[in-house]
C-alpha cells in the first residue's frame, strides 16, 4: 500500500499544516512516510510544494519520481498545474478553484480550470467560499485536506485527531472552525463523485 | 522503541543532544537554520546545555572550538557558504585538533533553492583533512551525529557532517536511542593549541600521518554498505548520501539491483571501492554536488580497462540537484510514463517581499531619490531585500556575499561610481558589514549606506539580530561615521516624500553617510500578535 502526494500552493497558504496532519496520521497508522518541503526564499509569496510519500514498504527517495504521484493536492488552481508531470496517468487532482492572484500575468481562471478538467480524475472545490462558511478565510488548507480525505489511504478520524492537536493551543473555537472547514471540504468533494 | 517525526536538520540536532552535547553555535542560513532552532528550543526546556545564535559563522566555529578545548562536546552548524566565512578557524582546527568532540555540520544547497552557489563541502573536509559523514536519511542523520562526537575524540580531530537541502528539509520518523552523558571539564594541551610555527609543523605532520587511520575508520564504518551482484559483472554503482536513495528508487526489488556501494564517510573507503571496481566493468558514480568521488576515482588518466561514468562523462548533469528521474536517465533506463503535458503557458510565481513590508517603502523612496542620478549604482546584500532585484523594484545591481554591499560600494566609489549606494540589513551588517564600514569611515568614502533595520533575521524565519535600534546607531557612531550623516527614516507610505528628501541629501553629501530605514518585520509583528 502506497500513496505519493504532491502538495501545492502559494507561500503562506498553510500547505505545511496539511502535511503535518497527514504525517502524524500516517505515523499513528504505522505507515512509513517521507515529506520533503520548501523553506527559505520561496516561502515569501512564491510557488511552494511538498512531496509527501506514504507507504507500508520502505521509502527510498524523498522526492516523488515524475509520473508516479497518486495525487496532486493544491490549495490554489494555477499551482496544481505546475506539477502535472509528476502525476501518474491514473492519478487524481484535488484542487481549490479559488485563485490567489499576486502576479500581474495570472491567466484567465476558466482556462486554468479547464486544464484541471482535462485530467480524468479531478475534484475542484471552492475552498475560499467554504472557508468563509466555516468562519475563517485562512482555513482553505483544511477545506482542501477535507476534500482530499475520501481519496487518502488514511482514516478520517486520525486526520481529525491531528487537526485538533495542531490547533489546540489556539483554543476550542479555532479547532472547531478548522474541523468544520475539513467537513465542508469533504462533503463538497463527495458530492462530485 | 521511542520514535519522533523530525526534519533532517532536527534529527542532526537531537543526535547531537543525545551524543552528549555541551554547546551548540550557529548563524542562520537556509538549509541549516532548523538545526539551531531545535537546539535552542531543547536547551530552553532542559537547561542542560548551551545553544545560541552567534553573530557570524566564524565566531560560531571559534566558540565551538573553545568548548572542545575545554574537553566538552560542541556542535557548530551553518549553510555551505557559511563555511567560507568560518574557513579560517575551520582549517586551523584540523591542526590544533579536537579535545572534546567537535562536530561541524554544513548544509549544502544543490540546485540553489536559497543560495548563491552550489559549492560542495566535501572538498572542505578533504582540504582540511578531517573525517566527514554524509547521511542518506533521517535515521542516519541522527545516528551519525550521535556517533560523530566519539569519532572526533577517537581521532582527535573535528568531524564534518555534510547535509543537503533535500534531507535537511524533509521530515520522517526517527528511532531514538539512549542519550549519552556530557564530558567533564578537561583542558587541551596548550602546546597543541598554540599554532606557532614550531607547534604547527609538528601538528600538521601528525595530521598527515593520521590520514591512514581515517581511511581505515571509513572502510570499517557500519554506515557504508557493499552489495555485489554475482550474476552481473557489467555495471556497478557507487552512490553517496541521498543519491543512494535515488538509485534504489529505480530498483525497487532487491534482485534487480546492480552491484552497489553506498558511501557515507570520507576520506573515501578505499578498500570497499576496490572490491566494487574489481567486480565490474563499468562504474557509475551517483553523488549530489560536484563530481567529488568520480574525480577521485578517475584521477587524471582514468581506471585501467574500466569505464567510469558520472557527471564528468555526461551521464549525469554537472549542475543542479539530482532526482529519481535524473538518476534513472544516468542508469540508461526508460523514463516512467507520465501524463502528456499541454503547452498551456504557466505564469511563474517568484518569491516577493511581503505585503506591508518596510523594504517595499524603502525601495520606493530609494528608487525615487535616484531618478535624477542616472549613473548611480546600488550594491546590495543577502536577505529578504535581495528580492528588490526583481520587478516591480529592479532596485539593486549586485548581491554577492554577506557584507559585500558595503565593501563593493567603497570599491565602486573609488573607481568613480557616483552615487555609490549600499543596501544591507541589520543582521547582515552585524555579520560582515561592520568591518568594511570601519574601512570606509577611515577615509570618509563618498558613498551612502542604507541599513534596512527590521530588527530580525527575516528570510530564515526571524532569528535575533545583534545590531538593531539604538545599539545599531551607537555602533555606526563608534565606527567613525559623522553623527550629522547618520540619518534615520521610517519606511512607511505616508513618509515617502520625507524619506526621498533625506536620501537625496545624503546622496549629495560629499563623504560617507548612513541612512537607517527602521521598521519591524511584518512577519515578526504578526507572530507577536499571535495571529
Determine contact: B47 vs chain A, CB below 8 A. Answer: no
- Interface contact flag, B328 A78, Cβ < 8 Å: no
pLDDT of residue A34: 97
Average pLDDT over all residues of chain A: 94
Q: Do B338 and A37 make contact, defined as CB atoms within 8 angstroms?
A: no
Instruction: Give yes or no for residue B188 having a pLDDT over 60.
Output: yes
CA–CA dist B113, B79 (Å, integer): 12
CB distance B347–A61 less than 8 Å?
no
Closest listed residue to residue B463, CA positions, set B40, B166, B9, B108: B40
Contact A38 B113 (CB under 8 A): yes
Pick from B30, B37, B171, B345 the residue to mutate for testing the A interface (most A CBs within 10 Å).
B171
Say how far apart CA B251 and CA B257 lie, in whole Å.
6
Topology at the third CATH level for domain B225-330? Rossmann fold (3.40.50)
Question: How crowded is residue A125: how many other Cβ atoms within 10 Å of its Cβ?
Answer: 26
Contacts of B166 in chain A (CB under 8 A): 36, 62-63
**Residue B519: which of B352, B350, B353, B395 has the closest Cα?**
B353
Q: Looking at residue B147, what is its pLDDT? A: 98
Q: Quick check: B267 pLDDT over 70?
A: yes
- For residue A42, is pLDDT > 70? no
Using a CB-CB cut-off of 8 Å, the residues of chain A touching B248 are 60-61
Q: What CATH number belongs to B358-529?
A: 3.40.50.970
H or E segment to which residue A35 belongs: strand A32-36
Checking if the pLDDT of B475 tops 60, the result is: yes
Are B403 and B381 contacting, i.e. CB atoms less than 8 angstroms apart? yes
Distances in whole angstroms, Cα of residue A98 to Cα of each of A49, A138, B311, B355, B383: 17, 12, 43, 20, 31
Q: B74: closest CA among B17, B116, B35?
A: B17
| B354/chain A closest Cα distance in angstroms | 7
Could you tell me if residue A67 is left (phi over 0), alpha (psi between -120 and 50 degrees) or otherwise beta? left
Q: Which residues contact B314 (CB under 8 A, 6 or more apart)?
A: none
For B367, the grid coordinates are 528608487
**Domain B3-214, CATH:** 3.40.50.970
Task: State how beta strands B259-263 and B225-227 pair.
Answer: antiparallel
Average pLDDT over residues B507-527: 96
Work out how many CB contacts closer than 8 A connect A with B. 145
Beta carbons of B69 and B188 less than 8 angstroms apart: yes
CA distance A82 to B83: 35
Instruction: Specify whether the CB–CB gap between B377 and B397 falls below 8 A.
Output: yes
Is residue A69's pLDDT more than 90? yes
Please give the average per-residue pLDDT across B434-442, as a whole number.
Answer: 98
What are the domain boundaries of chain B?
A: 3-214, 225-330, 358-529
What's the pLDDT at A44?
74
Task: Report how far apart, in Å, the C-alpha atoms of B359 and of each of A130, B151, B216, B286 are.
Answer: 34, 46, 53, 42
Q: What is the pLDDT at residue B218?
A: 98
Q: What is the pLDDT of residues A110-142, one digit of tens each?
A: 999 999 999 999 999 999 999 999 999 999 999
CB contact under 8 A, B346 and A82: yes
Q: Which of B170, B337, B348 is opposite residue A89, by nearest beta carbon?
A: B337
Count of residues making up chain A: 193
Q: What is the C-alpha end-to-end distance of chain A, expressed in Å? A: 23
Q: How far apart are CA B117 and CA B272, in angstroms?
A: 32
State yes or no: pLDDT of A45 exceeds 90. Answer: no
CB B324 to CB A32 under 8 A?
no
Find, among A64, A63, A39, A37, the residue nearest to A50 by Cα: A37
Residue A179: CB atoms within 10 A of its CB come to 18
pLDDT at B252: 86
> Which residues from B are below 8 Å from A93, CB to CB?
none
Instruction: Give the integer Cα–Cα distance in Å for A59 and A72.
Output: 19
Residue with cell 543512494: B244
Is A119 in CB contact (< 8 Å) with chain B?
yes
Give whole-number Cα distances, B178 to B14, B34, B151, B172, in Å: 11, 23, 18, 19
The C-alpha atoms of residue B510 and residue B444 are separated, in whole angstroms, by 9
Sorting pLDDT into bands at 50, 70 and 90, what band is A192?
A: low
> By the CB < 8 Å criterion, does B336 face chain A?
yes
Cβ-nearest to B339 among A36, A64, A87: A87
Q: What angle do CA B12, B13, B16 make, to 5 degrees?
A: 85
Q: How confident is the model at residue B531 (pLDDT cuts 50, 70, 90)?
A: low
- From residue B56, give the alpha-carbon distance in Å to each of B61, B65, B124, B455: 9, 14, 18, 16
Candidates A46, A105, A118; nearest CB to B352: A46
Judge whether A174 is closer than 8 Å to chain B, CB to CB. no
In whole angstroms, what is the distance from residue A140 CA to residue A188 CA? Answer: 13
Q: Domain A2-191 adopts which CATH fold?
A: Pyruvate-ferredoxin Oxidoreductase; domain 3 (3.40.920)
Task: Tell me whether residues B170 and A81 touch, CB distance under 8 A.
Answer: no
* pLDDT value of residue B339: 76
Q: Region B420-428: what's the mean pLDDT? A: 98
pTM score above 0.90:
yes
**CB-neighbour burial class of residue B312 (10 A; exposed 0-12, middle 13-18, buried 19+):** middle
B59 pLDDT above the threshold of 90: yes
Alpha helices in B56-162 (DSSP H): 57-69, 80-85, 87-96, 122-128, 138-155
Total Cβ atoms within 10 A of residue B194: 12
pLDDT of residue A40: 66
Shortest distance, CA A11 to any CA of chain B (angstroms): 8
Q: Which residues on A lie below 8 Å from B346 (Cβ)?
A: 78, 81-82
Question: How many CA atoms lie less than 13 Å away from A58 in the CB half-sphere?
Answer: 11
Check A42 against B351: CB less than 8 A apart. Answer: yes
Same fold, B225-330 and B358-529: yes
The answer to whether residues B53 and B464 touch, using CB atoms and an 8 Å cutoff, is: yes
* Angstroms from B326 CA to nearest CA on chain A: 9
B55 has a chain A CB within 8 A of its CB: no
Tell me, yes or no, if B415 comes closer than 8 A to chain A by beta carbon: no
Residue B198 confidence (pLDDT): 97
**Strands B21-26 vs B73-79: parallel, antiparallel or unpaired:** parallel
C-alpha cell at B219: 572502510
Q: How confident is the model over B268-307, as pLDDT tens digits? A: 999 999 999 999 999 999 999 999 999 999 999 988 899 9
Please work out, in degrees rounded to the nearest 5, the angle formed at the alpha carbon of residue B242 by the alpha carbons of B293 and B62: 75
Interface mutation vs chain B, best among A6, A31, A39, A88, most B CBs within 10 Å: A39
The answer, yes or no, to whether residue A193 has pLDDT greater than 60, is no
Query: How large is the C-alpha radius of gyration of chain B?
Result: 25
Which of B350 and A24 is assigned the larger pLDDT? Answer: A24
Question: What pLDDT score does B507 carry?
Answer: 98
- Chain mean pLDDT for chain B: 96
Res A76 pLDDT > 70: yes
Residues of B in contact with A68 (CB under 8 A): 336
Using a CB–CB cutoff of 8 Å, tell me whether A48 touches chain B: no
* Cβ within 8 Å of A, B 112-141: 113-114
The pLDDT of residue A41 is above 70:
no
Q: Is B323 on the interface with A (CB under 8 A)?
A: yes
β-pair type (B377-380, B420-425): parallel
The secondary structure of residue B227, as a DSSP letter, is E
Q: Which residues in A lie closer than 8 A to residue B347 (C-beta atoms)?
A: 78, 103, 105-107
Q: In what order do the strands lie in the sheet with B259-263?
A: B225-227, B259-263, B235-240, B282-286, B307-309
Say which DSSP state B485 is in.
Answer: G
Decide if A85 touches B, using CB distance below 8 A.
yes
Mean pLDDT of the region B413-417: 98
Q: Which residues from chain B sit within 8 angstroms of residue A87, using beta carbons?
A: 338-339
Q: Is A15 helix (H, G, I), strand (E, B) or coil?
A: helix
Q: In this structure, what DSSP letter does residue B181 have?
A: P
**Position of cell 567603497?**
B410
The pLDDT, as a whole number, for residue A191 is: 80
Residues 162-191 of B with CB under 8 A from A: 166-167, 169-173
Mind listing the pLDDT tens digit for each residue in B492-510? 999 999 999 999 999 999 9
H/E element, A128: helix A127-134
Looking at the DSSP bridge assignments, the partners of residue B24 are B51, B75
With beta carbons under 8 A apart, name residues in chain A contacting B242: 62
Tens digits of per-residue pLDDT, B109-154?
999 999 999 999 999 999 999 999 999 999 999 999 999 999 999 9
Residue in this structure with the C-alpha cell 549586485, named with its chain if needed: B398
Amino acid at each position: 500500500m502506497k500513496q505519493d502526494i504532491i502538495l501545492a500552493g502559494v507561500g503562506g497558504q498553510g500547505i505545511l499544516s496539511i502535511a503535518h496532519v497527514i504525517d502524524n496520521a500516517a505515523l499513528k497508522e504505522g505507515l512509513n512516510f517521507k515529506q520533503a518541503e520548501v523553506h527559505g526564499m520561496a516561502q515569501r509569496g512564491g510557488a511552494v510544494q511538498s512531496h509527501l510519500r506514504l507507504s507500508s514498504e520502505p521509502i527510498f527517495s524523498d522526492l516523488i519520481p515524475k509520473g508516479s504521484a497518486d495525487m496532486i493536492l493544491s490549495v490554489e488552481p494555477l499551482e496544481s498545474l505546475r506539477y502535472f508531470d509528476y502525476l501518474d496517468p491514473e492519478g487524481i487532482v484535488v484542487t481549490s478553484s479559488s485563485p490567489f492572484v499576486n502576479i500581474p500575468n495570472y491567466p484567465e481562471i476558466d482556462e486554468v480550470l479547464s486544464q484541471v478538467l482535462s485530467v480524468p480524475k479531478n475534484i475542484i472545490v471552492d475552498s475560499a467560499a467554504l472557508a468563509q462558511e466555516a468562519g475563517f478565510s485562512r482555513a482553505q488548507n483544511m477545506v482542501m485536506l477535507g476534500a482530499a480525505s475520501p481519496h487518502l489511504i488514511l482514516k478520517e478520524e486520525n486526520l481529525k485527531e491531528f487537526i485538533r492537536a495542531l490547533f489546540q493551543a489556539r483554543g476550542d473555537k479555532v479547532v472547531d472552525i478548522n474541523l468544520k472547514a475539513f467537513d465542508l471540504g469533504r462533503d463538497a468533494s463527495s458530492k462530485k463523485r | 522503541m521511542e520514535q519522533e517525526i523530525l526534519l533532517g536538520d532536527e534529527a542532526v540536532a537531537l543526535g547531537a543532544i543525545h551524543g552528549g552535547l555541551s554547546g551548540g553555535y550557529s548563524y542562520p542560513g537556509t538549509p541549516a537554520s532548523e538545526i539551531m532552532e531545535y537546539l535552542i528550543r531543547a536547551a530552553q526546556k532542559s537547561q542542560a546545555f548551551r545553544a545560541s545564535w552567534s553573530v557570524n559563522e566564524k565566531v560560531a566555529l571559534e566558540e565551538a572550538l573553545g568548548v572542545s578545548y575545554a574537553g566538552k562536546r560542541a556542535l557548530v552548524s551553518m549553510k555551505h557558504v557559511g563555511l567560507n566565512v568560518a574557513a579560517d578557524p575551520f582549517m586551523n582546527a584540523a591542526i590544533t585538533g579536537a579535545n572534546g568532540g567537535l562536530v561541524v555540520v554544513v548544509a549544502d544547497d544543490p540546485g540553489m533553492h536559497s543560495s548563491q552557489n552550489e559549492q560542495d563541502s566535501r572538498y572542505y573536509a578533504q582540504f582540511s583533512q578531517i573525517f566527514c559523514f554524509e547521511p542518506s536519511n533521517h535515521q542516519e542523520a541522527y545516528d551519525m551525529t550521535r556517533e560523530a562526537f566519539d569519532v572526533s575524540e577517537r581521532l582527535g580531530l573535528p568531524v564534518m557532517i555534510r547535509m543537503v537541502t533535500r534531507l535537511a528539509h524533509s521530515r520522517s520518523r526517527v528511532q531514538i536511542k539512549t542519550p549519552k552523558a556530557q564530558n567533564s571539564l578537561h583542558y587541551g594541551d596548550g602546546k597543541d593549541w598554540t599554532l606557532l610555527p614550531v607547534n604547527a609543523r609538528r601538528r600538521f605532520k601528525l595530521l598527515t600521518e593520521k590520514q591512514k587511520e581515517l581511511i581505515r575508520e571509513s572502510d570499517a564504518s557500519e554506515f557504508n554498505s557493499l552489495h555485489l551482484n554475482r550474476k552481473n559483472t557489467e555495471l556497478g554503482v557507487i552512490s553517496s548520501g541521498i543519491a543512494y536513495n535515488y538509485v534504489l528508487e529505480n530498483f525497487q526489488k532487491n534482485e534487480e539491483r546492480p552491484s552497489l556501494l553506498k558511501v557515507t564517510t570520507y576520506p573515501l573507503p578505499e578498500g570497499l571501492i576496490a572490491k566494487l571496481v574489481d567486480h565490474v566493468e563499468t562504474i557509475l558514480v551517483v553523488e549530489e554536488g560536484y563530481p567529488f568521488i568520480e574525480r577521485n576515482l578517475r584521477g587524471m588518466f582514468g581506471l585501467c580497462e574500466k569505464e567510469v561514468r558520472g557527471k564528468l562523462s555526461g551521464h549525469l548533469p554537472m549542475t543542479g540537484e539530482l532526482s529519481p528521474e535524473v538518476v534513472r536517465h544516468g542508469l540508461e533506463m526508460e523514463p516512467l510514463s507520465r501524463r502528456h503535458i499541454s503547452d498551456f503557458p504557466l505564469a511563474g510565481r517568484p518569491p516577493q517581499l511581503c505585503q506591508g513590508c518596510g523594504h517595499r517603502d524603502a525601495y520606493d523612496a530609494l528608487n525615487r531619490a535616484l531618478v535624477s542620478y542616472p549613473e548611480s549604482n546600488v550594491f546590495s546584500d543577502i536577505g529578504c531585500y535581495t528580492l528588490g532585484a526583481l520587478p516591480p523594484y529592479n532596485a539593486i545591481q549586485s548581491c554577492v556575499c554577506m557584507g559585500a554591499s558595503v565593501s563593493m560600494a567603497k570599491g565602486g566609489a573609488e573607481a568613480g561610481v557616483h552615487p555609490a549606494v549600499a543596501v544591507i540589513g541589520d543582521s547582515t551588517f552585524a555579520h560582515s558589514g561592520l568591518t568594511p564600514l570601519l574601512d570606509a569611515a577611515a577615509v570618509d568614502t563618498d558613498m551612502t549606506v542604507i541599513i534596512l533595520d527590521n530588527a530580525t533575521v527575516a528570510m530564515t524565519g526571524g532569528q535575533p539580530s545583534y545590531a538593531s535600534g539604538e545599539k545599531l546607531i551607537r555602533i555606526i557612531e563608534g565606527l567613525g561615521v559623522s553623527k550629522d550623516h547618520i540619518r534615520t527614516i521610517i519606511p512607511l507610505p505616508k513618509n515617502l516624500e520625507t524619506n526621498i528628501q533625506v536620501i537625496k541629501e545624503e546622496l549629495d553629501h560629499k563623504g560617507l553617510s548612513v541612512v537607517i530605514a527602521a521598521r519591524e518585520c511584518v512577519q515578526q509583528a504578526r507572530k507577536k500578535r499571535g495571529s
